[in-house]
């Protein structure tokens, strides 16, 4: 097992560029010394980064669609128990643009206790 | 199965105040002390109280106004600087337009009161993006159904991207 991290998961995509800069200042090269996974799939600024990071496409359209569907469902069924949590799965997009659905976190819905 | 709805009297009995006080507290009347108001709201939440306005309109089901409101914990101009938030706002607006729904944005921080027009008889439902200020919880509770997006806590159905689960 590697004695140091081999990758960094940047949860806030908008700071990806800063992460690149900070790593470069420390002579750590992305792609050679460490891999970057970010969530800023929607940001056009990512295309300026070299090498391109892998990203998580958070499927925002799907999340929005399901949220509105849920509102409508609740409106039509006002007495149904509420308080569920829905995880919308993201899609891993590698630095070459290949897409992989994240099977490890298939969407689930659970009651909040 | 018969479900007995919680009434203002139930809350009054639980808190040890009059029904009138409960009614005033739920409407955020300034004559009620913040401490009493907090106790009433807490009891209302625990007992699953649904205001009469909700029962009157909500029990019928179906769209009435075609209006939804999106409460934002940050100012829209700040949210739009973040690509992910901007994409979500655009996607919600697009989804509403497809379904002939009108979506109004309301900035909701803990310092200002919510707009007076924000009542169930003018809305069909509420979405919340971000955290819910505790002082507005009782008001928001009346605006069901409530859908929470990337929110921590609060009454309603939660929607999250799985990014917070890690890579």
> Whose CA is closest to B123, among B58, B26, B49?
B58
- Cα separation, A56 vs A60, in Å, equals 11
- Cα separation, A103 vs A92, in Å, equals 10
Note whether B5 contacts A: Cβ–Cβ < 8 A.
no
Quick check: A63 and B163 CB within 8 A? no
Find the mean pLDDT for residues A86-108. 70
Note whether A108 contacts B: Cβ–Cβ < 8 A.
no
| B83-B85-B87 Cα angle (round to 5) | 65
| B158-B159-B162 Cα angle (round to 5) | 125
Pair A47, A14: CB distance under 8 Å: no
Q: Please give the order of strands across the beta sheet that includes A91-93.
A: A7-10, A35-38, A54-57, A91-93, A99-101
- Cα separation, A93 vs A97, in Å, equals 6
**Is the pLDDT confidence value at A74 over 50?**
yes
Quick check: B95 and A68 CB within 8 A? yes
Quick check: A75 and B127 CB within 8 A? no
Select the residue of A45, A60, A85 nearest B88 (Cβ to Cβ): A60
**Is the pLDDT confidence value at B127 over 50?**
yes
Quick check: B124 and A67 CB within 8 A? no
pLDDT of residue B19: 80
Q: DSSP for B83-105?
A: HHHHHHHHHHHHHHHHTT-EEEE
Note whether A53 contacts B: Cβ–Cβ < 8 A.
no
State pLDDT tens for residues B20-63. Answer: 888 777 766 677 888 888 888 888 878 877 665 444 444 556 88
- Cα separation, B90 vs B101, in Å, equals 14
Quick check: B167 and A56 CB within 8 A? yes
For residue B143, the 8-state DSSP code is T
* B contacts of A110 (beta carbons < 8 Å): none
CA distance A60 to chain B (A): 6
| B140-B145-B151 Cα angle (round to 5) | 65
Q: Which domains does chain B have, with CATH numbers?
A: 8-49 (no CATH), 67-165 (3.40.50.2300)
For residue B108, the 8-state DSSP code is -
CA distance B91 to chain A (A): 5
Quick check: B160 and A88 CB within 8 A? yes
Q: State the pTM of this model.
A: 0.67
Confidence at B1, pLDDT banded by 50, 70, 90 = very low
Reduce the secondary structure of chain A to three states and give it as a string: CCCCCCEEEECCHHHHHHHHHHHHHCCCCECCCEEEEECCCCCHHHHHCCCCCEEEECCHHHHHHHHHHHHHHHHHCCCCCCCEEEEECCEEECCCCCEEECHHHCCCEEECC
State pLDDT tens for residues B64-92. Answer: 889 999 988 888 888 887 778 888 899 99
Provide the phi-psi class of B150: left if phi over 0, else alpha when psi is between -120 and 50, else beta. Answer: left
CA distance B52 to chain A (A): 13
Quick check: B83 and A11 CB within 8 A? no
* A contacts of B99 (beta carbons < 8 Å): 68, 72
């Amino acid at each position: 097992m590697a004695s140091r991290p081999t990758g960094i998961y940047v949860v806030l995509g908008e700071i990806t560029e800063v992460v690149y800069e900070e790593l470069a200042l420390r002579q750590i090269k992305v792609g050679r010394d460490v891999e970057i996974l970010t969530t800023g799939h929607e940001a056009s600024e990512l295309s300026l980064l070299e090498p391109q990071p892998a990203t998580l496409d958070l499927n925002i359209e799907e999340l929005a669609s399901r949220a509105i569907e849920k509102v409508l469902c609740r409106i039509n069924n006002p007495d149904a128990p509420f308080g569920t949590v829905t995880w919308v799965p993201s899609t891993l997009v590698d630095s070459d643009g290949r897409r992989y659905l994240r099977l490890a976190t298939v969407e689930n819905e659970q009651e909040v206790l | 199965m018969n479900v007995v709805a919680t009434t203002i009297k139930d809350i009054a009995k639980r808190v040890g105040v009059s029904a009138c006080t409960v009614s005033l507290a739920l409407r955020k009347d300034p004559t009620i002390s913040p401490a009493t108001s907090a106790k009433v709201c807490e009891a209302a939440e625990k007992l699953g109280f649904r205001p009469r306005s909700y029962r009157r309109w909500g029990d019928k089901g179906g769209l009435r106004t075609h209006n939804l409101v999106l409460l934002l914990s940050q100012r829209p101009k700040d949210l739009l600087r973040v690509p992910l938030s901007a994409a979500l706002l655009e996607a919600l607006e697009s989804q509403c337009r497809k379904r002939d729904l009108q979506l109004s944005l309301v900035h909701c921080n803990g310092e200002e009161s919510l707009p007076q027009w924000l009542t169930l008889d003018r809305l069909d439902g509420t979405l919340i993006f971000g955290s819910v200020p505790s002082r507005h919880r009782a008001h928001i509770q009346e605006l069901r159904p409530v859908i929470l997006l990337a929110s921590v806590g609060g009454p309603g159905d939660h929607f999250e991207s799985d990014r917070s689960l890690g890579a």
